[in-house]
Structure 1
């Protein structure tokens, strides 16, 4: 019996599955607790475990597109799911995650939180009523941390709406008995957005998930991806310089792109029966680097 030393123990049983199921597994997004994500994750844990207090601490995570910020927030939410409370009318929901809408207003942000918690509201409800409903439900379910992804979308709002949304978030930490901590996440514009409320920004610890470069951390990441792909043969993604550099070059430094490349290559390796990823495998997959997906728009009448 083969040892399959290149695989994580939890991956080995997947090799017994039919091809179609192994392919589905290879396409499923996975969480890898890489070094640069462990620090903000630990900071979020501290927010959750800290006693309620005035001016609670917050966390802000900046990252380029597709470089792991959303996956990090989703993982944190999944690790802290709602807990049943038979003696209460509602479950305990310590962590709530929302995405900042693309064209936000304060009213839409209220509705987004209520929708996320399954709390009904009247279609014609005014902002004051929506705000009261949000504060009531957050207190009722015992929320301690609010995760707000895509914070940079708030830059699409007018100044008055933007400032109103930020003031609302600040109030979640100020108002007793809520004292809710915030985790903001977004692209490089996220910090700029938060800076519009100086009182709020001062409460944030900032983390940056930078584009990846070749080095030990990157090689460990590739080895971790390989360990979770249900392939019978070792590919040595983290050890083979040519493979590692090709994945880094194609993925342009973004962890989400690395997964896309490795996942598609693993699927092809299963379909062909090769059962490992090689440079030829990478050449054969359908993949377009992020920079090549941008569309150049030519304006009429301009040279």
Structure 2
């Protein structure tokens, strides 16, 4: 039986998949909308379309662990995928999302930015080189938004850090 008349049309297509494909789909992350998440996404949409100025507005999303903050970021990033412009030969990344390192380590942070934009990391680079490279590449990519997930990790260090 491959028609599944008792199922909704969208579910019929999934039911016709192989067992392996159905299991893979079941285990995958999926977006389940809820009002607070939609409000956060709407605010992010407003911020990404904001005209460039000296002091850009920002947003801090706070919540308990497991409340969906990272899922909101992932959904927003999926909704604004990177694209390659073949005429200019440039990559355009509307959103650059970075997972904050476990402590306030600038060198590791800049390495994470370079990894997020797909840039090779120079071997044995100093902090100044990493910072300069990350900032230069970000200025060339001109992302509409830089998202830093798990920013609370900055609190793990000492005052000097």
TM-score by length of 2: 0.88
Equivalent residues in 2 for 1:143-158 (5 A)?
A: 143-158=143-158
1:232-269 residue CA offsets vs partner (Å, 9 max, x unmatched) = xxxxxxxxxxxxxxxxxxxxxxxxxxxxxxxxxxxxxx
Query: Mind listing any 5+ residue stretches in structure 1 that lack a counterpart?
Result: 162-303
Residue in 1 that maps onto 2:160 = 160
1:4-34 residue CA offsets vs partner (Å, 9 max, x unmatched) = 3xx5x53331112233322222221101221
1:198-227 residue CA offsets vs partner (Å, 9 max, x unmatched) = xxxxxxxxxxxxxxxxxxxxxxxxxxxxxx
Equivalent residues in 2 for 1:1-303 (5 A)?
A: 2-4=5-7, 9-161=9-161
Which structure has the greater CA radius of gyration? 1
Greater RCO, CA 8 A, separation 6+: 1
- Shift in Å at residue 88 of structure 1? 2.8
- Shift in Å at residue 3 of structure 1? 4.6
Query: Mind listing any 5+ residue stretches in structure 2 that lack a counterpart?
Result: none
- Shift in Å at residue 155 of structure 1? 1.4
- Shift in Å at residue 151 of structure 1? 1.2
SS at match of 2:30: coil
SS at match of 1:97: strand
Distance 1:91 1:27 in 2: 31
Q: Could you say what the CA RMSD is over the residues aligned between the two structures, in angstroms?
A: 1.7
Q: 1:129 to 1:18 in 2, by over 3 A?
A: closer
